[in-house]
Amino acid sequence: MNLSFDNTEKAFAYKSNKDLGRAKFLFSTMSYPFFVPIGTRLTPFLMKTGLPIDGIIRKTIFKQFVGGETLEQTAEVADLLGKYNVQVILDYGVEGKESEANFDAATEQFVKVIEYAATQKNIPFISVKVTGVARFSLLQTLNEAPRLRSGIHDNELENDEWERVKDRMYHICEIASQHNVGVLVDAEETWIQDPIDRLVMELMEAFNKEKVVVFNTFQLYRHDRLDFLKLSHRIAKQSNFLLGVKLVRGAYMEKERSRANSKNYPDPIQSTKEKTDKDFDASVAYCLENINDLSVIVATHNEQSNLSAFDLMTQKNISLNHPHIHFSQLYGMSDNITFNLAANGCSVSKYLPFGPIRDVIPYLMRRAQENSSVSGQTGRELALIKREVERRKGK
């Protein structure tokens, strides 16, 4: 089968002319060199001042990248995507809270998201950040502690706090298992990632016995993650559970390199983009080789990696809708990949965040930065949108 990501008619069939025009305006604005750096600094400040800019944000960047402010509002987007055989990964996009009360409230919200997803035929997964239910500084302390073989360290209060974090994550995953909803645990910064990895391995051992409920995220712009993927698989086989794998390139490169440089430790990031691409594609190949005892989500906006994964599946005679293989892209980006994969029979989803507009500002600022920092991303999105606008005009 021949797969192409150039078919804009399929890519944007779900968008009205008005929606397409709004997207064209947004990506055109984001293409100006100084707009995103200034906008990402100014927007959070203006939101804190109480100035009435909610309406502008809601009609532009929020509408492009977010499913709504409430679970109910995401239903309209999920139903629309479902008409084109595109599924949804729901993400409660609130982050940066630091109190135990906030962590408990977030846990209950994640449970509500799971219970809601279970009532919808089009929402097989939810996404969870451990920093949504745990203090960042606690995770950093754990990361710096000696391998946690016999407890965390000498501070009893922080031991108790870590147990509460684990209880929250176990509760979320238990509810998910009962409702047959997958939990994708996001990767975070390297200096808090070790305790997250250990916790997710525990969760997989508890809940991934007969089906994959819990997925860990592997950021392949880290030069150690291909080896860690293989190690995780060996541990899963030895401990008799199924491995859940979400493959991404990564989200914190500039921050990671800056911290490594300032603190004078080896840069954890690949030295070149080509090495990242090589490890990402090797990870996909490894997962397809072992598809009977793991499940993989290929979560990338890289066209070549998606094409390579698709071609490898056909070469190996793996069904395009195999229950252990799923593709995913962020809502509002790379529609040419998502909808053309779906049209060719692949299992594919959009990662759909939701939450109060003021709470999802950090997420929106990252999307703006990602589109401007990934080489050619904004230009590629804009070119495809313009091509579809011209195609519709010519009808």
- Same domain assignment for residues 212 and 243: yes
DSSP state of 60: I
Average pLDDT, the chain: 89
Q: How far apart are CA 220 and CA 238, in angstroms?
A: 24
Q: Same domain, yes or no, for 103 and 38? A: no
Q: State both tokens at 343.
A: 């049209």
The torsion defined by the Cα of 370, 333, 327 and 387, in degrees rounded to 10, comes to -130
Nearest to 122 by CA among 84, 94, 92: 84
**C-alpha–C-alpha distance, residues 291 and 279, integer Å:** 18
Q: Is 100 within 8 Å of 107 (Cβ atoms)? A: no
Show Cβ contacts of residue 372 under 8 Å, excluding neighbours closer than 6 positions. 30, 36, 37, 378
What confidence score (pLDDT) does residue 394 get? 84
Number of folded domains that form the chain: 2
Evaluate if residue 373 carries a pLDDT over 80: no
Whether 233 and 349 map to the same domain: the answer is yes
- For 143-200, the pLDDT digits (tens) are 887 655 444 455 556 888 999 999 999 999 999 999 999 999 999 999 999 999 999 9
Residues 55 and 86 in one domain: no
Residue 178's contacts (CB-CB under 8 Å, 6 or more residues apart) are none
pLDDT bin (cut points 50, 70, 90) of residue 38 is: low
Choice between 367 and 90, residue whose per-residue pLDDT is larger:
90
For helices 35-49 and 361-373, the axis angle rounded to 10 degrees is: 170
What percent of the chain is modeled with pLDDT above 90? 72
The per-residue pLDDT for range 271-287, each reduced to its tens digit, is 999 999 999 999 999 99
The answer on 265 and 318 residing in a single domain is yes
For residue 43, pLDDT beyond 80: no
pLDDT on residue 182: 98
The tokens describing 293, both together, are 């005892």
- Complete DSSP assignment for 69-106: SSHHHHHHHHHHHHTTT-EEEEEE------SHHHHHHH
Q: Phi-psi region for residue 380, left (φ > 0), alpha (ψ -120 to 50) or beta?
A: alpha
Mean pLDDT of 335-340: 98
* pLDDT at 75 exceeding the cut of 50: yes
Return the pLDDT at 379.
Answer: 80
Long-range contacts of 342-347 (CB under 8 A, 24+ apart): 342/84, 342/85, 342/86, 343/7, 343/10, 343/84, 343/85, 344/1, 344/3, 344/310, 344/320, 345/320, 345/321, 346/310, 346/320, 346/321, 347/87, 347/320, 347/321, 347/322, 347/323
167 and 237 in a single domain? The answer is yes
Together in a domain, 117 and 167: yes
Mean pLDDT of 251-270: 92
Same domain? For 21 and 134 the reply is no
Q: What is the CATH number of the domain that holds 234?
A: 3.20.20.220
Q: Is the domain of 27 the same as that of 129? A: no
Please tell me the predicted confidence (pLDDT) of residue 62. 85
**In contact, 94 and 66? CB cutoff 8 Å:** no
Residues 12-21, mean pLDDT to the nearest whole number: 94
85 & 26 share domain = no
Residue 33 has pLDDT above 90, yes or no: no
| Domain match, 250 and 371 both | no
Distance between CA atoms of residues 76 and 67, nearest Å: 8
**Which segments of the chain does DSSP mark as H helices, in order?**
8-11, 17-30, 35-49, 54-57, 63-65, 71-82, 100-117, 136-144, 156-179, 190-207, 225-238, 253-263, 273-289, 303-315, 335-343, 361-373, 377-393
Domain hosting 24: range is: 1-64+365-395
pLDDT of the residue at 29? 81
* 243 plus 386 within the same structural domain: no
Q: How far apart are CA 127 and CA 67, in angstroms?
A: 14
**Contact predicate 127/117, CB 8 Å:** no
